[in-house]
Structure 1
Amino acid sequence: MSRSDNQMDGPNDSNERTPLVNNSSTNSTLGNLGTLHGRQGIVGSGNKPLYEDDRAWVRWPMNFLHLTWETLTSNYVNILLVFVPAGIILGALDLNPTAVFIVNFLAIMPLAALLSFATEELSAKMGQTLGGLMNASFGNAVELIVSIVALMKGEIRIVQASMLGSILSNILLVLGCCFISSGIMREESRFNETVASTMSSLMAVAATSLIIPATLYSTLNDSNHDTEANILVLSRGTAIIMLILYCLYLVFQLKTHKKLFDAEAQEGEEDEAQILGPVPATICLILVTLLVAVCAEYLVDSIDAIVEEAGISKTFIGLILLPIVGNAAEHVTAVVVAYKDKMDLAVGVAIGSSMQIALFVTPFLVILGWIVGQPMTLNFEGFETVVFFLSVLVVNYLIQDGKSNYLEGCMCLGTYIIIAIAFYVYPEDAGSKIGVTVKEWLRPQ
Structure 2
Amino acid sequence: MAGSEPGADAARETYSLQASGSGDPALPQSRQDVAAVENGAGDDRPRPSRLFRVKSAGESNRRGIHPLQMLKIIWTSSSTISQAVNVLWPFVPAALALYYTQTGPHTLRFSLAYIAMVPCANLVGFAGAELARKMPHMLGVLAETTIGSIVEIVLFLVLLLATDNANKYYIIRAAILGSILATMLLCLGLCFFASGLRRETSTFDSALSEVGTGLLLMAGLGLAIPTIFSNGISIEDFGITQADLDDRTRQLSRVISVLLLIAYIVFVWFQMRTHHGIYDAIFEHDEKRDLDKHKDKAKAKLTLTECIVSLVASVALVTLIALALVNEIEPVVLESGISDPFMGLILVPLVEKAAEHLTALDEAWDNQINFALSHCIGSTIQTAMLNAPLVVIVAWGRGLPLDLSFEIFEIAILILAIITVGNYLRDQKSDYLEGFLCVITYIAIAVAAFYFPTSPEAHSRVEGGEHAERSLFM
Q: Same fold (TM over 0.5)?
A: yes
Deviation at 1:330, TM superposition (A): 2.1
Alignment of 1:49-198 (within 5 A): 63-74=66-77, 75-95=83-103, 96-127=105-136, 131-152=140-161, 153=163, 155-198=168-211
Higher mean alpha-carbon deviation, 271-280 vs 225-234, is at 271-280
1:175–1:347 CA contact under 8 A, matched in 2: yes
1:412–1:79 CA distance, 2 compared to 1 (3 A): same
**Residue 255, structure 1, aligned to residue 283, structure 2:** no
For 1:341 and 1:78, how far apart are their aligned partners in 2?
A: 24
* TM-score normalized by the length of structure 1: 0.79
Deviation at 1:119, TM superposition (A): 1.6
1:337–1:345 CA contact under 8 A, matched in 2: yes
1:143-199 deviation per Cα after TM superposition (whole angstroms, max 9, x unaligned): 111111111126111211111111101111111111111222222211112311101
* TM-score normalized by the length of structure 2: 0.75
For 2:198 and 2:132, how far apart are their aligned partners in 1?
A: 32
Q: Give ranges in structure 2 of 5+ residues lacking alignment.
A: 1-60, 78-82, 458-474
How well do the aligned residues superpose, as a CA RMSD in angstroms? 2.2
Deviation at 1:137, TM superposition (A): 2.9
SS of alignment partner, residue 252 of structure 2 = helix
1:263–1:344 CA contact under 8 A, matched in 2: no
**Residue 380, structure 1, aligned to residue 406, structure 2:** yes
For 2:380 and 2:418, how far apart are their aligned partners in 1?
A: 10
**Residue 229, structure 1, aligned to residue 247, structure 2:** yes
1:210–1:114 CA distance, 2 compared to 1 (3 A): same
Match of 2:233 among 220, 232, 247: 220
1:177-222 deviation per Cα after TM superposition (whole angstroms, max 9, x unaligned): 1111122222221111231110111010111012211011012341
Match of 2:213 among 200, 215, 223: 200
Code of the aligned partner of 1:352:
G
Q: How many residues align?
A: 374
**Residue 285, structure 1, aligned to residue 294, structure 2:** no
2:171–2:341 CA contact under 8 A, matched in 1: yes
1:199–1:274 CA distance, 2 compared to 1 (3 A): farther
Aligned counterpart, 2:340? 314
1:238–1:148 CA distance, 2 compared to 1 (3 A): same
1:91–1:100 CA contact under 8 A, matched in 2: yes
For 2:434 and 2:67, how far apart are their aligned partners in 1?
A: 46
1:206–1:372 CA distance, 2 compared to 1 (3 A): same
For 2:214 and 2:364, how far apart are their aligned partners in 1?
A: 22
For 2:366 and 2:207, how far apart are their aligned partners in 1?
A: 21
Alignment of 1:261-280 (within 5 A): 261-266=279-284, 267=286, 272=297, 273=299, 275-280=301-306
For 1:414 and 1:82, how far apart are their aligned partners in 2?
A: 32
SS of alignment partner, residue 102 of structure 2 = coil
For 2:64 and 2:214, how far apart are their aligned partners in 1?
A: 50
1:277-320 deviation per Cα after TM superposition (whole angstroms, max 9, x unaligned): 22221121111111111111111111111111210012211211
2:138–2:276 CA contact under 8 A, matched in 1: no
For 1:67 and 1:180, how far apart are their aligned partners in 2?
A: 33
For 1:412 and 1:330, how far apart are their aligned partners in 2?
A: 17
Code of the aligned partner of 1:188:
T
1:128–1:254 CA contact under 8 A, matched in 2: no
SS of alignment partner, residue 90 of structure 2 = helix
1:16-75 deviation per Cα after TM superposition (whole angstroms, max 9, x unaligned): xxxxxxxxxxxxxxxxxxxxxxxxxxxxxxxxxxxx99xxxxx999x2212122213313
Q: Give ranges in structure 1 of 5+ residues lacking alignment.
A: 1-51, 54-58, 432-445
For 2:332 and 2:84, how far apart are their aligned partners in 1?
A: 29
Equivalent pairs: percent with the same residue?
35
For 2:138 and 2:359, how far apart are their aligned partners in 1?
A: 22
1:71–1:275 CA contact under 8 A, matched in 2: no
SS of alignment partner, residue 290 of structure 1 = helix
Code of the aligned partner of 1:300:
V
Aligned counterpart, 1:245? 263
Deviation at 1:130, TM superposition (A): 5.2
Match of 1:325 among 328, 348, 351: 351
Aligned counterpart, 2:416? 390
For 1:127 and 1:405, how far apart are their aligned partners in 2?
A: 29
Aligned counterpart, 2:460? none
Higher mean alpha-carbon deviation, 376-385 vs 152-161, is at 152-161
Code of the aligned partner of 1:107:
A
For 2:64 and 2:218, how far apart are their aligned partners in 1?
A: 51
SS of alignment partner, residue 184 of structure 1 = helix
Alignment of 1:40-51 (within 5 A): none
Code of the aligned partner of 1:91:
Y
